[in-house]
Amino acid sequence: MSQIVEVSDATFEREVLQADKPVLVDFWAEWCGPCKMIAPYLEQIAAEKGDRIKVVKVNIDENPMTPTKYGVRGIPTLMIFAGGELKATKVGAMPKTKLDQWVEETLAEAA
C-alpha cells in the first residue's frame, strides 16, 4: 500500500519531476475545507493505484515557490506529472468517481 508523501519546494524536483512513474500532486492548505474533503479519496487512490501512480501533497502555505511556479490560484489544485512534465490539472473538490476517472484518463494518455 502506497502512502501519500509530503513534498516541499526543496524536494519537488526529486519527488515529482524525477519520479519513475506518474505523480498526482495535491496542492492544499490546512485551512481549506474542500482540501480536507478530498483527502480520503487521495489516500484511497494512493492505496488502490500506488503501483501505477505516486500521490504527493504540497502545503501551499509552507511551500510558496512551487505553487507559484505552476500557477496555482485556487485550492485544492490537483496536477498529474509524468516524465517531468505537467500532463493534467483539476481545480476544486470532486467526488471520488470523478477523481478516479480523471486519474485513469490521464494515465492512459501519459502511457
Task: Choose, from 16, 19, 23, 32, the residue flagged as catalytic.
Answer: 32
**CA–CA separation, 26 and 40 (whole Å):** 12
Give yes or no: 67 in active site.
no
**Annotated catalytic residue 60:** no
Beta-strand relationship, 5-6 and 23-28: unpaired
Q: Which residues contact 60 (CB under 8 A, 6 or more apart)?
A: 27, 28, 29, 67, 72, 75
Given 4, 24, 35, 60, which residue is catalytic? 35
Residues that are catalytic: 32, 35
